[in-house]
Chain A
Amino acid sequence: MMIKNVILLTKVSTKNLLESMNLISKSTGKFNKKSTYFWLLIIVMVAIGILSNYILSFLQQYGQTGIFLDVIFAMLLLIMFMQSIILSINVFYFSKDIEYFLPLPLRPMELMLSKFNTIMLVLYGSEAIFALIPLCLYGTTINLGIIYYPLLLIALLLLPILPTLIVSVLSLFLMQIMKFIKNKNVFQILITLLFIVIIVVAEIFYIKAVIEMPNDNEMNEEMLVNMQNVAKKINSSFLVVNPLISVLKDQNIWLNLIKVIGIYAIGFIILFFIGSKLYIKGVFKATQYSKKKVSKKIDIQSSVKITSPKVAYLKNEFRGLFRSPIFFMQGIFPVCMTMIALVFVIVFFKFNVIDKSQELVQSFSELKLNGEGASLILIACQIFFSFINISITSISRQGKNAVFMKYIPVNLYTQFLLKNVPQITFSTVFAIIIILMAKLLFPAIQLLDMLILFVISMIIGVLNSFLMMIVDIKRPNLDWNAEIEVIKQNENKLFQYVWSIVTVVILMYTKNLFADNFNLYIAYLVLFTIFTILLILVNVYVKKQIDKNKLFNKIGL
């Protein structure tokens, strides 16, 4: 009965997920090939495939294709840990649907396992996008037999269980300290911070290990072997990963599979044992705290503050983003952490590696910026912009409230611009940091170059923000029950991936035009012109759509 209920709940979640992505036709119940998302998904997967193919060919030159498996699994693990950390506390304890489930005749364990499965589904989605094609390509590149593919499927089905299990058990324990915390929002952010600190510390050790590798340019092969060793070290820390890799390498398949299943069996026994003692207590605590009211007398005289409508609107946009922990954690928190990690790596590399070697100091200082370098800096900016999930959820985050924007006396174009400000603000900060980091590494970059790069990166950032907001306005997800769905079930993110690919292609293509003797300022002018024209076209489109009452017509239906 228990398994039946868990399967039922999981089926409902899966169906909801697929229907929300329009991947399953509601009328026929079959795969919907007309879905835009289906095709976008294909495009993103193909792009990842091309990149993987490029990496595999590179590795093949050195006869080191084996590294691919270790590195892909290590990266997948890191991605999945990060995702399950961000999801776990909200899904298990703070999602709105918990209150709908509580009155149902479900056992606590059924509820917990259905929540467990929700996280697993998201991780399977990530695997499908990021790992399926690269690992299939790996199989074809080194001509593995047909048996590799069913084994790959088994490995991919088993892998996400590990991060979900570990993070779930930790969440159960961490929830117990909630009695010391009065504010559930602060609690959610603190817990996530704690988790992230653990990940960042692990990352620092990883980076340190990589930096300790020999720096000689001629030691590419040795570098690759060292990289593999680091990846192996990470993988061996998580008991099931190396056995799964061994399964794919056709080494003791049955023994390794039994080993993995055995470890999971122990893991689930621990989860069941702790879950039966702690889960429902935690759920009650969470629902109780979310209802807790602080009764305070208000001094209305001093609480009334006047601001202009535009500033008030903007303040409200920022408030909405920061007040909901899940929006904050999914919208900007990961990208901030990634940026901090990047700054850390570059600063560490600069002062602990470059500055300690006279030769390196000289070679880095002599490197002058060329068209290729400028394009790479702009590509880095675009990649960071694409991680910011603010514009792409700006309408969806409002849920049914979104209708508000249509009946207030504030021009819709003005609202469109104001809603873009948070994403553009973060893009500006990231662009400045990236350019400063480039300057730190390559001191020869001139101030004028930095200024020009900043201007172009901002045009790219504004264009990215406008486009993603148009996507969210045209395809908003307003009927959500849990905040988590706004981003995790947000298929619009695929548009962001596609647009990033387009931008990178534009930058890469123009990079190829810029030969070493090509005037850098003409290169800047070309990039500036391309992105400015695109931005003007998008802006004209927005204005025309608003004039025709077409842009916001999906809101308020």
Chain B
Amino acid sequence: MIEIKNVSKSYKRGQKVIDNMNLTVNDGEILGFLGPNGAGKTTVIKMMTGILEIDDGDILIDGESIQKDSYKAKKNIGLVPDSPDMFLGLKGIEYLNFIGDIYKVDKEERTRIIQDLAKKFDMQDALLQKIESYSHGMRQKIVIMGVLLHNPKNWILDEPITGLDPKAIYDLKIIMKEHASKSNVVFFSTHILEVAENLCDRVAIINKGKILFVGTLEQLQKRMKEESSLEELFMEIVNDD
């Protein structure tokens, strides 16, 4: 479970980029985090994962504060960052071994998961190549494989769909659903509203550092216009703000 409690953040004094945000993502839930460019999505994700300091409030990951006991909190997080250009000098398999070592994944489980994921993401032939030779989509896949390897309870993905081929998007969606079905959390930001519409149990819409809406698509339709698509509702809610 992820709990964002009264969180605020400013980069410059007096200019809050996140303003008193509250949001809870329950176990077994996929939450889509939507918002226009510059709305504060990445800032929230950075605070959730301990990359940025929180000015006010707190974020709890399975009850552990990311500020007070970051070690325990981080053990339960798997982050797919927006830029997949990670460790370009390593070979795919070296990267996975490195992640496996950092998160202490035992040999048997590591072997099984890597075999499984390499097949699923069609990466068997690429694991001996350096990541720098990968395409954007392949880089995205190896980072996702790294996260799946240690199977954290809470998945946080920043724009995970960008650059993936249709098969990989399909596979990722299945994996995200599978992960949530095991009482885990999947929190992801996206611009692709269609994916959010099909995949998410709930959506949170953020603009100018404030949450404008949290709920299911049905609740959003009830509040705004019935029979509208998420795209239309999103535009309406953001424009109203």
Contact = CB atoms under 8 A, between A and B. Distances in A.
A313 B87 CA distance: 12
Contact of B83 (A309, A312, A320, A400): A400
B128 A296 contact: yes
Contacts of B101: 306-309, 311-313
Range of interface residues on B (Cβ < 8 Å): 35 or more
9 contacts: A294-B129, A306-B106, A312-B101, A316-B98, A403-B51, A407-B50, A407-B74, A409-B103, A549-B53
A274 to B, nearest CB: 30
Contact of B85 (A290, A305, A401, A555): A401
Contacts of B133: 290-293
A297 interface: yes
B51 A303 contact: no
A323 B89 contact: yes
Interface in B114-128: 114-115, 118, 124-128
B127 A298 contact: yes
Interface in B95-109: 97-98, 100-104, 106-107
B98 A312 contact: yes
B52 A556 contact: yes
B233 to A, nearest CB: 32
A295 B122 CA distance: 13
Contacts, number: 111
B74 A409 contact: yes
A400 B86 CA distance: 8
A410 B124 contact: no
Residue of A290, A308, A409 with most partner-chain B CB within 10 A: A409
Contacts of B127: 298, 300, 303
B136 to A, nearest CB: 13
A70 to B, nearest CB: 43
Interface in A399-440: 399-401, 403-404, 406-411
Contacts of B94: 319
B111 interface: yes
Report, nearest first, the 3 A-B pairs whose CB atoms are least far apart.
A312-B101, A323-B89, A556-B51
A518 to B, nearest CB: 50
Interface of B: 11, 46, 49-53, 67, 71-72, 74-75, 77, 79, 81, 83, 85-87, 89-90, 93-94, 97-98, 100-104, 106-107, 110-111, 114-115, 118, 124-130, 132-133
B105 to A, nearest CB: 8
A316 to B, nearest CB: 5
A320 B89 contact: yes
A296 B125 contact: yes
Nearest to A323: B89
Given A297-B125, A298-B125, A312-B97, 6 more contacts: A293-B129, A295-B125, A312-B102, A399-B85, A408-B74, A408-B102
A557 interface: yes
A451 B58 CA distance: 52
A301 interface: yes
A411 B83 contact: no
B232 to A, nearest CB: 35
Contact of B107 (A297, A306, A400): A306
Interface in A221-268: none
A503 interface: no
A304 interface: yes
A553 B89 CA distance: 26
A553 B53 contact: yes
